[in-house]
Amino acid sequence: MFQFIFKRLSLVIPTFIGITLLTFTLIRLIPGDPIEVMAGERGVSAERHAILSAELGLDQPLYIQYFQYVKGIFQGDLGNSLVTREPVLSEFLTLFPATVELAFCAAIFAVLVGLPAGIIAAVRRGTLFDHSVMTFSLTGYSMPIFWWALLLMLVFSVNLGWTPVSGRIDVVFWIEDVTGFMLIDSLLSDEEGAFSSAVSHLILPSIVLGTIPMAVIARMTRSSMLEVLSEDYIRTARSKGIAPWRVIVIHALRNALIPVITVIGLQVGILLSGAILTETVFAWPGIGKWLIESIGRRDYPVVQGGILIVATIIIIVNLLVDLTYGIINPRIRHSN
């Protein structure tokens, strides 16, 4: 077992080096100089350009800049944003809770809807329900997020007035930042109605962000359930006269869930990266929007640092999935 963990961990190190190199070079390969981009039509004189380059450390040879960047990582310093001049890490930490909150709610939505839909579709295979679930999930899977978000917004927020259009909480509430999670902060604030306002602001973005994972989970659950349901032991259980719901929930579902749980784990990456569009549409102050803007502004430290942290989180999640999978399934552990 230790050997297995060690092998997995040792793979992480080259992955990290790869990520630092990739983010560092890719953002620099995009043409466009951050100082020129900042100055716009107004332009900047050659002397001023030289002064600013020196201040921002952009006049150093690339290998030294890379070395500084890696040295900074070891010291826990990801540098300062070229635009706001604030430390990348502190900007990340203020924005990340919003992303996590949204991803978490979207995941709950995806599981709560996707899982039962997949199970019922499998049990009632070939019925109208089954066909509708499959059609809906295919549509959901191929839905352009931007369009889907605007559609829901126009119907539910503008025309019906059921949900707010965008933002995290109604502007009448003056919530202090304590944890950064609006659901928790609004509860802590003691302001009446703040919590339900925070919940209502989460509904549409969670549905939008959760749509694709929900479709994936529904399809995966269905096919996995179908496979299990045709196994001999299910037939045996049925012939023994066990109640049909017991056969499905206790006997079939447990085994069918194993591949589904892996898929749910993999969706974490999709939820974090897919948040970019959702965050932009719903004016959600998370890291997706922050990274996109930084790429546009050629804000090198933010792009490098932000992507590195996100990638780290995805690596850790995948590592945990791998490890638990290894624990559950001895065949994987030993094949390594």
Is 171 among the residues that bind another protein (CB under 8 A)? yes
User: CB of 203: closest distance to another protein in angstroms?
Assistant: 7
Q: CB under 8 A: which stretch of 34-42, 68-76, 225-233, 319-327 binds another protein? A: 34-42
Report the C-alpha gap between 95 and 72 in whole angstroms. Answer: 21
Among 7, 15, 17, 36, binds another protein (CB under 8 A): 36
Is 55 among the residues that bind another protein (CB under 8 A)? yes
6: burial class by Cβ within 10 Å (0-12, 13-18, 19+)?
A: exposed
**Which pairs count as long-range contacts for 1-9, CB under 8 Å and 24+ apart, including other chains?**
1/326, 1/333, 3/336, 4/326, 4/333, 4/336, 5/323, 7/336, 8/319, 8/322, 8/323, 8/326, 9/319
Is 114 among the residues that bind another protein (CB under 8 A)? no
Q: Which amino acid is at 211?
A: T
Q: Within 135-164, which residues bind another protein (CB under 8 A)?
A: 150, 153-154, 157-158, 161-164
Rounded to a whole number, what is the largest CA-CA distance in the chain? 87
Binding mask 64-93 for another protein (x = CB under 8 A): -------------------xxx-----x--
Q: Within 259-298, which residues bind another protein (CB under 8 A)?
A: 280-283, 285-286, 289-290, 293, 298
How many H helices and E strands in the chain?
A: 15, 0
CA 276-279-281 angle, to 5 degrees, is: 110
User: CB of 72: closest distance to another protein in angstroms?
Assistant: 18
Q: Which residues bind another protein (CB under 8 A)?
A: 30-34, 36-45, 48, 51-52, 55, 83-85, 91, 94-95, 98, 112, 116, 150, 153-154, 157-158, 161-168, 170-172, 174, 177, 193, 196-197, 199-201, 203, 280-283, 285-286, 289-290, 293, 298
